[in-house]
Amino acid sequence: MYSRFLAAFLLLAVLLLLYAMPPSLYAHSFGTAGYSEISISGRTIDYELLLDHDQLLAYLPIDQDGNGTVDKKEWDNTTMIQEFMADHITVSADGIQGKPELTGASEVKRNEQSLIRFAYRYTFDQPVRSYEVDYRLYFNEFDNDHKNFAAVKASGTSKDKIFSKGSSVLQGTINGISGEAQGGHSERESGNRAFLWIAASVFVLAAGAWFIRLAGHKQLMR
């Protein structure tokens, strides 16, 4: 009876930890991971795309001399980089598809991870009132489990979103960013999940210590 109860408790504890775990902790547990930082202001949408250095170079032949790094001459190959963005990520405003203009490219580090950063700008004829991002990078071609952790900022409001094969579209409106139904997670929700994960971890450790102590006490009683 005791062993069954302990097994049930451990199973429940594992499920609780998996549910409460914030996205930042499992970002690299499944497939490749990238980041999107999207800013909307007036008639422009600025999109910073950050992707793992080694994985991107294996996918995009921008390192033409094959030395493992990208020099200035290779960064200047704007045609290839802009086509890469246009082929895999579509950004629209008020139903009109935008054309990416490369404004910068560099190698950066984030949390000890080597990344390649592309900065794109989309300019529209009218101020952006609604937008849509269709993220198709790597899916079906390179990594079905790829995740991209996006943050959208507009009108003083921020919205988080995880792009994946099953949730690849983000839609929103200015002065009230929407798109939560598309699978995004707000900053508050992410913070709540982090708090739940910490609380659940403390609970599991305390309960585990109690069970070990109880088991030792029963052994002595025998």
* Domain membership of residue 15 as a residue range: 1-28+186-222
CA dihedral of residues 20, 21, 23, 28 (deg, nearest 10): -150
Instruction: Tell me: do 120 and 83 sit in the same domain.
Output: yes
Instruction: Tell me: do 84 and 181 sit in the same domain.
Output: yes
pLDDT digits (tens, 9 = 90+) for 202-213: 666 666 666 666
* Residue (of 112, 91, 77, 80) closest to 48 by Cα position: 91
Instruction: Tell me: do 24 and 39 sit in the same domain.
Output: no
Instruction: Tell me: do 114 and 212 sit in the same domain.
Output: no
Instruction: Tell me: do 161 and 77 sit in the same domain.
Output: yes
pTM of the complete model? 0.64
Instruction: Tell me: do 145 and 172 sit in the same domain.
Output: yes
Scanning 42-176, the segments in alpha helix (DSSP H) are 53-59, 72-75, 78-88
Domain count, the chain: 2
Across the range 116-140, mean pLDDT stands at: 91
pLDDT band of 26, cuts 50, 70, 90: very low
Instruction: Tell me: do 196 and 163 sit in the same domain.
Output: no
Please tell me the total number of residues recorded for the chain in this structure. 222
Instruction: Tell me: do 4 and 108 sit in the same domain.
Output: no
Instruction: Tell me: do 139 and 209 sit in the same domain.
Output: no
pLDDT digits (tens, 9 = 90+) for 166-221: 899 999 998 755 444 344 444 444 445 555 556 666 666 666 666 666 666 555 55
Quote the radius of gyration of the chain (alpha carbons, Å).
Answer: 23
Instruction: Tell me: do 73 and 9 sit in the same domain.
Output: no
pLDDT digits (tens, 9 = 90+) for 42-61: 999 999 999 988 888 877 88
